[in-house]
Chain A
Amino acid sequence: QDRTLRAAPGTPPGHPSNGVMYQNFLGYLAESSDGRLGATILGPEVASLGQMKDALQSQIVEIGNLLPLYYPAELPFMALAGELSLIPGNPHAAGAAMTEFIVTCEPCQDELRRFNLVYLGSGTSDVYEILSTRPVRTAEDLRGMRLRTGGAPWARLAEHFGATPAQISVNDTFEAMSQGVIDGSIASVADLQSFRLIELVTHVTELPLGLYQATSNFTVSSATWGSLSQEDKEALAEAANLANADMTQRWGYDMPTEAIEAAEGAGIEFVEADASLIQAVEEFAATERETAIRLAQENFGIDDASDHVARFLSLLEKWEGIVDGLEPAEIAARLQDEVWSQVDFATYGG
């Protein structure tokens, strides 16, 4: 190896973004760079998710898992994409659309450049559901519930249905639920296992509640990026692209399947929401497009927000048509074709 990068998934070894995403990335990187590039993986004691921006900017970490929604002031376009989380889509399509959107949008690249970061694609969660300690069948059941929400779109949804959104860190969800401070969480069903909620949750209600898509799994510090040859940059992007698809497969599909099996074993009831509730959620999600545009104008001063939203939605539709029935490696190959092979690595991220 000519160069060993300091890489940080920001999460402990058991978590999908460390286990699958970064371990696979190591393998892909060795292959795509013909063994020139390697990485040592640093744990959250060196760089947690909350510290990732600073760790990257000061080069403690050279490639890391950054959550852009922590920095809406600095990354408004990422925040805009995050506000669209409730728009229905499947995980692989959302990950691909997000990647193409950010890579090919000039102001998005500008904000990353100003922040001294280079973006190499996104991965996404599964479609969120309601994990709760009492059944939710109708809109009436939601009224008065206290729900943990992982971001503004879900808080809006909760409030729309008369529930109280609670901003609690995902790590504190178990404790808050065990004490009855919250009645449930709008989250990935995989949280049942990742955060031991399986011991507390009694009901899971399947509803189309959107997914977590504003991620940047392999964010490279600009200084590191600038020190790499064009060949190495391409190798890095190729490895990240493959690992992103694996990550979405793991977080968006495999882990939920395992969690559902475990939940059934633990006697958790899977509640079928009433048709009127599903319809009400869909109607609310449909208003989110206008909300996101309004917020992007108000909060971030993006005046042409409606154009960007329209573009994101058309990309989402495009990828919905492509990913159906494809394996993660095939999806990565399509993204490589459609997006990354079009990128000029002499100028990208520079």
Chain B
Amino acid sequence: MSITTAFVGIAVLFVMLALRVPVALAMIAVSFGGVAAMLGIEPAIGIIANTPFSFVANWTLSAVPMFLLMGFIAYHSGMTTGLFEAAKAVLRRIPGALPISAIFACSGFASVCGSSLATAATMGRIAIPEMVRAGYAPSFAAGAIAAGGTLGALIPPSILMIVYGVFAETSVLRVFLGGIAMGLLTALSYCIVVLITCWLRPDIAPPRPTQGNVLPMGQALVKVWPVLALMAMVFGGLFSGLFTTTEAGAIGAGGAILIAALTRTLTLTVMRDALTETLLTSASLFIIGVGAAMFTRFLGLTGMSSYIASFVSNADFGFLHLMLIVVVIYLILGMFMEPFGAMLITLPVLLPVFRAEGIDLVWFGVLLVKLLEIGMITPPVGMNCFVIRGVAGKYVTTGQIFRGVTPFIAADLVVVALVILFPAIVMFLPALL
């Protein structure tokens, strides 16, 4: 039976992943072996011969390197400091002003950067030392930034959302629009966590307003212009019909280079670092995509996808029951896997189920990215926490970061529940399109 082949294939995949075979190569090998076992060698060669080219030669996917480059240029040219200064100037009088300012700055940076890790790394460098000096517990300060970093993938542009759009064959722009609401809701929930912590635990979060070293409001706002200009350029052009979502990546990357040049922060080192990081991230991501595309074709040939889809519809789980299963699956996967691997290994099975159940794939994409981003801050493998450890290692240990991020994970779960119970929260913007 072909279904047996599918299950054997999945088992072999897990063994290979456990042995530390690269995710992409494991999926490629299993697809090849599985198709060869079912249909013979010629079809198996066909699968691996043509998928690499046909997957990568994709117009929508071309936004990935461009949005990455835009984020890395913004990152290496230091466009973020101004955001943090401005937020502090505006919010200086409220309790928890510093972490809340940092979360605002993360949101601002997220609107020009498509990656969660880059957002966490940038803000971690700037905000954590300052929070620690102001008397915040290092674990809480680091937790706030690790969580705040996830906004990078929630607020558009978002590399995860682009790749999802390609696989789900749904509009990237609509997923982006849903991401705006999801990102803002997340930021709001993090601010509430900060306020509650200030109230309940003054020992780790001093409730007094910020003193000293805050720029005058006017001066601070002037420093925000590079990010604001970049944001206006990308989103203005997008919504006025000058260019498409895909083209917005190139315009944004070009704009970031231009603005960095105008602010005299563009050096050869900045260009070289941004380009190599873009290349490293894109190439490692695309090869996983190739593997996932082959794995999708393999599972399609086994009839596995339709088998599970009909299993789910016969089981008649009901929407909430089904979503509970999905949430648990991604929370578990997110503990161990990085988001692209987790997404691309599961979509081949889940998308047919959702299509059969009539679940809106734009809504699901937004929810999925949120679930994957929770995985970025959960132990034992929490990439955002690791990167914070990398940039603020002299203040915190990895264990302390995981402890500090716990209340923010709780807030994430509340947000997930809200979005499942009231899909309109994220769908009202895409519905306008």
Asked whether the complex places CB atoms of A and B closer than 8 A, the reply is: yes
Q: Which residues of A contact B (CB under 8 A)?
A: 6, 12, 40, 42-43, 45-47, 50-51, 54-55, 57-60, 169, 171-172, 174-176, 178-181
Given contacts A58-B45, A58-B49, A60-B35, contact A178 B433 (CB under 8 A): yes
Q: Is there an interface contact between A181 and B241, defined as CB atoms closer than 8 Å?
A: yes
CA distance in complex: A97, B310 (Å): 42
Given contacts A60-B35, A169-B59, contact A54 B433 (CB under 8 A): no
What are the residues of chain B within 8 A of A46 when measuring CB–CB?
296-297, 300-301
What are the residues of chain A within 8 A of B422 when measuring CB–CB?
none
CA distance in complex: A171, B300 (Å): 22
Contact of B243 among A43, A45, A171, A181 (CB under 8 A): A181
Contact of B244 among A12, A54, A55, A181 (CB under 8 A): A181
Kindly provide the distance from the CB of B344 to the nearest chain A CB, expressed in whole angstroms: 13
What are the residues of chain A within 8 A of B351 when measuring CB–CB?
45
CA distance in complex: A40, B300 (Å): 11
9 nearest A-B residue pairs (beta carbon): A58-B46, A180-B241, A46-B300, A54-B50, A60-B43, A45-B300, A179-B241, A59-B43, A46-B297
Q: Is there an interface contact between A176 and B244, defined as CB atoms closer than 8 Å?
A: yes
Q: Is there an interface contact between B238 and A179, defined as CB atoms closer than 8 Å?
A: yes
One digit per residue, 1 when the CB lies within 8 angstroms of any chain A CB and 0 when it does not, for chain B 315-353 equals 000000000000000000000000000000000100110
Starting from the known contacts A45-B297, A46-B300, A60-B35, 7 additional A-B residue pairs (CB-CB under 8 Å) come to: A45-B296, A54-B46, A59-B39, A59-B42, A59-B46, A172-B59, A179-B245
CA distance in complex: A174, B60 (Å): 14
CA distance in complex: A181, B301 (Å): 38
Kindly provide the distance from the CB of A67 to the nearest chain B CB, expressed in whole angstroms: 14
CA distance in complex: A47, B173 (Å): 25
Given contacts A60-B35, A175-B171, A176-B244, contact A45 B46 (CB under 8 A): no
Does B305 sit at the interface, judged by CB under 8 A? yes
What are the residues of chain B within 8 A of A57 when measuring CB–CB?
46
Q: Is there an interface contact between A180 and B240, defined as CB atoms closer than 8 Å?
A: yes
CA distance in complex: A169, B61 (Å): 14
Q: Is there an interface contact between A51 and B50, defined as CB atoms closer than 8 Å?
A: yes
Q: Which residue of B lies closest to A183 (CB)?
A: B241
What are the residues of chain A within 8 A of B239 when measuring CB–CB?
179
Contact of A51 among B35, B45, B54, B172 (CB under 8 A): B54
Q: Is there an interface contact between B49 and A175, defined as CB atoms closer than 8 Å?
A: no
Q: Which residue of A lies closest to B2 (CB)?
A: A40
Q: Which residue of B lies closest to A178 (CB)?
A: B433
Q: List 15 A-B contacts (CB under 8 A).
A: A12-B169, A45-B305, A46-B300, A55-B46, A58-B42, A59-B39, A60-B46, A172-B59, A174-B171, A175-B171, A175-B244, A176-B244, A180-B240, A181-B241, A181-B242
